[in-house]
Amino acid sequence: MKQVSIFRFVVSMAIALLMVVTALPAQAFAATPYEGYTINNLGEDVHSINGYIYESSIDGYNLPSGPFNAPEDVFLADDGTIYVVDTGNSRVVQLNANHEVVNIIGDEEGDGKLNEPKGVFVKQDGTIYVADTKNQRIAIYDKDGKFIKQFGKPENPLLGATFSYSPSKLLVDKRNYMFVVSDGNTQGLIQIDPNGQFKGFYGANHVGFSWSRLFVKLVATDEQKAKLSVVKPLEFSNAVQDAEGFIYTTTLGTETNQLKRLSPVGVDTLNIGERRYGGRFDAGPFEVPSFLDLAVDKDGVITALDLQSSKVYQYDKLGNFLFVFGGLGEQNGLFVTPSSLAQSSDGTVYVVDKGRNRIDLFRTTPFADLVHDASKLFVDGRYKEAEGMWNEVLHLNGNFELAYLAIGKSLYKAESYKEAMHYFELARSRTDYSNAFKEYRKEYIREHFAWICLAIITIIILLRYIIPFLWRRLPALWSSRNTARTERIKGGVPHDRNV
Amino acid sequence: MIATFRMMRQVLVHPIDFYHDIQEQGRIKWGQALFVVAFAYLARMIAILITGYAFEKREPHEISFLHEFIWLVVPWLTWTVSNWGVSAILEGEGKFKEVFVGSAFALVPYAIFIVPITLLTNVLALDESSIYSFLINFTIYWVGWLLLLKVKIIHDFELVKMAWITVLSIIGILIMWFIGILMFGLMNQLINFVVDMIKELNFRR
């Protein structure tokens, strides 16, 4: 009796356990609505593990401030404070790290009243700079949200008569200079000093040389030229500053070099040559990515938002592709009309979805944490320390080509050139392969010097003496055999031709 | 066979004599031309196989032995036909057989030197690639020069006329390719049409 009950207990437990085990995956892993991929050296996208997963949203419905309306920007302070530019409600909502309302800025009547602001920047001391777009000004508030002062439209002959001022994004550098993105302005970032004086344009895009334009210029008459549309440099859509004070920009309307890191004199230092950011076919063929916003973390990892595909792309400090997430759609994790993004100090990415009036939070996966740690060491050139991590990355995902490159570089530095060559081949990096090969060749020649010398001498002897000898003798041998045969046929008369 | 190798040696060392000699009666055979082209194709395939990793810009799956064959044989054949046709109209003396064999033998430098040159890619690094590309270009210019020499000697042309005939031949090649692609497309349509018709009839039976 007892045995039977124990047996029954065991069996029922096993069945229950089996049921739990089979039921568990369906409950525990909600599938992400997007597929992670990485880009290999041939420019193809190959499957990869997702780096970011949707976590939660802030939509304002359960906040005393009420729901957001078409938010355009978000700013994350180092202490975790969140500033949401609630454009449709013409205000900036300040939330603390627990997503509770701390303050609402610019909604009271008076000088500080905002009118459809589109951008915000908060300094270390808490001073709030708002790009008050419809009022054509920059409004400044202290850390308690009290209006201090404003800077109106900058005046300068350089700006030209037709200049229309519509500040949408801004940042403030260590000298308190403001760098303002004005919608539709193609001359670069507008630099304004702490006194509100215009100090020139910064980092403008340039119109490159074009053969077709030169041809048109040579051929067209003046009237035809007047009818042609004017070629203007491309427009910036956003600008952010990293911890070191470098300014990063996003450019609209181009397929290459949409993301830039500008040096203090305004020269791009991120891209050497042409580089394509964004997905090639994510938005469909013949669609140009239009990057709206980007965030740069303390290690230089760049996270950028593309409106065309509604995806977020992440690149390391050197511009190597790391991760992609998001997309167009209604599910959690996809966006309707994304407008801006920011990254908190713990790595969570905040994406503002203007179309759905909310802010989506994405957390990193363990795989992404691993890649980030490894890539941080990699971009600093500490290849050896990163090698173990990259091996682990490959263990999780053999498609991650950057890992092969990184391990190859580590091996190269450790002077194991043959293995480095193998890894560079896997990473499809021909230049690195060739460099490793050159070192390997040097090593090989040094080790086998005697044999190589011997081989060269043999070849010289072969070419100089033996082959010419055979060349001279072979036809003679051939013809003597032929004559021998004729002799036999002709009945043993030797050399009958001479007879 | 031995004669073919002798001729290959002669075209490398004394190309002018070679093109004079092949005009002699009964000196050349059609099979020799086919042999040389097959030899060039074989050399090309071997060269692709032994190219060092850093120098091979294509992925293995992008290389097709059929494509390589077409890209060797079709230009040679169309050049032969076009050059012979144009020359025949414009008082060239060459016979089709001579053009056919002469053009094939112009490929000899490529067929012979491509493999040893490609062996170099296994000992050169990318920044020394200028040596490799110089040698390859040299071989290709050699082939081109032999082709021009062939036009001049076989048809017994002046220098200017030779250049003119060459230009016309190239235009002829382009026309042939255009018509070929056109015919290919039309034939495809026709075959599809017939197949569809049969299917339809079968369906309504």
Task: Specify the range with the lowest mean pLDDT, choosing from A146-155, A442-451, A490-499.
Answer: A490-499
Instruction: Judge: A441–B123 Cβ closer than 8 Å, yes or no.
Output: yes
A17: its two tokens: 């356990």
DSSP state for residue B14 in the 8-state scheme: -
Q: Where in chain A is the domain with CATH 1.25.40.10?
A: 365-467
In angstroms, the separation between the Cα of residue B126 and the nearest Cα of chain A is: 6
The residue in chain A having the minimum alpha-carbon distance to the alpha carbon of residue B126 is A434
Nearest C-alpha in A relative to B124: A438
Domain boundaries, chain B: 2-204
Reading the block at residue A231, the tokens are 């070629």
Question: Taking chain A, what is the end-to-end CA distance rounded to the nearest angstrom?
Answer: 123
Structure tokens of A99?
A: 């997503």
Task: Kindly indicate the confidence band of residue A82, based on its pLDDT and cuts at 50, 70 and 90.
Answer: very high
Four-way CATH pick for A365-467: 2.40.128.120, 3.40.1030.10, 1.25.40.10, 3.30.830.10: 1.25.40.10
- Please report the DSSP string for B44-94 in residue order: HHHHHHH--GGG--S-GGG--HHHHHHHHHHHHHHHHHHHHHHHHHTT---
CB-CB under 8 Å, A434 with B125: yes
Query: Considering only alpha carbons, which residue of chain B is nearest residue A478?
Result: B2
- Cα B49 from Cα B60, distance rounded (Å): 10
For residues A45 and A313, give the distance between their C-alpha atoms in angstroms, rounded to a whole number.
13
Interface of A with B in 40-59 (CB under 8 A): 42
pLDDT at A495: 53
The beta-carbon neighbor of B125 closest among A42, A425, A437 is A437
CA distance A441 to chain B (A): 8
Q: For residue B115, what are the CA distances in angstroms to A151, A379, B145?
A: 73, 41, 20
* Full pLDDT tens readout for chain B, 205 residues: 788 888 999 999 999 999 999 888 888 899 999 999 999 999 999 999 999 898 988 888 889 999 999 999 999 999 999 999 999 898 888 889 999 999 999 999 999 999 999 999 999 999 899 999 999 999 999 999 999 999 999 998 889 999 999 999 999 999 999 999 999 999 999 999 999 999 999 999 8
Q: How high is the pLDDT of residue A185?
A: 85
Gap from B48 CA to chain A (nearest CA, Å): 17
Do residue B123 and residue A425 have CB atoms under 8 angstroms apart?
no
Which CATH class name applies to A48-364? Answer: mainly beta
A42 interaction partners in chain B (CB closer than 8 Å): 59
Q: Tell me the residue length of chain B.
A: 205
Q: At what angle do helices B65-89 and B96-105 cross, to 10 degrees?
A: 140
Is some CB atom of chain B closer than 8 A to the CB atom of A438? Answer: yes
Query: Is the Cα dihedral A420, A422, A423, A424 positive or negative?
Result: positive
Q: Under an 8 A CB cutoff, do A434 and B123 touch?
A: no
Are B54 and A441 in contact (CB < 8 Å)? no
Query: Is some CB atom of chain B closer than 8 A to the CB atom of A425?
Result: yes
A433 CB within 8 Å of a chain B CB: yes
> Chain B within 8 Å of A412 (Cβ-Cβ)?
no
Nearest to A95 by CA among A64, A129, A123: A64
Tokens at A306, concatenated? 């593309």
Instruction: Tell me, rounded to whole angstroms, the distance of Cα A351 from its chain centroid.
Output: 16
CA distance A102 to A82: 10
Nearest to B126 among A425, A430, A441 (CB): A430
Name which of A76, A100, A71, A74 is nearest A87 in CA terms.
A71
With an 8 Å Cβ cutoff, the interface of chain B facing chain A consists of 53-54, 57, 59, 123, 125-127
Amino acid identity of residue A181, one-letter, is V
CB contact under 8 A, B126 and A434: yes
Residue B25 CB neighbours (<10 A)? 5
- A438 contacts in chain B (CB < 8 Å): 125, 127
Nearest Cα of chain A lies from the Cα of B51 at a distance, in angstroms, of 13
Q: Looking at residue B125, what DSSP letter applies?
A: -
- CA–CA dist B79, A9 (Å, integer): 88
Query: Exposed (0-12), middle (13-18) or buried (19+): which is A475, by Cβ within 10 Å?
Result: exposed
Name the residue type at position A165.
Y
Give the pLDDT score at A226.
83
Calculate mean pLDDT across residues A149-172. 87
**Residue in chain B lying closest to A426 (CA):** B53
Q: At what angle do helices B30-50 and B65-89 cross, to 10 degrees?
A: 140
Amino acid identity at B133: S
Q: Tell me: pLDDT of A25 over 70.
A: no
Q: DSSP characters for B127-161?
A: GGHHHHHHHHHHHHHHHHHHHHHHHHHHHT--HHH
Contacts of A437 in chain B (CB under 8 A): 54, 125
ipTM over 0.90: no
Mean pLDDT value across residues A194-213: 86
Interface probe, candidates B126, B128, B132, chain A, greatest A C-beta count within 10 A: B126
Mean predicted confidence (pLDDT) in A278-286: 75
Choose among A236, A237, A170: nearest CA to A206: A236
Tell me the pLDDT tens digit for each residue of A206-263: 887 888 888 888 888 888 888 887 788 888 999 999 888 899 999 988 888 899 999 8
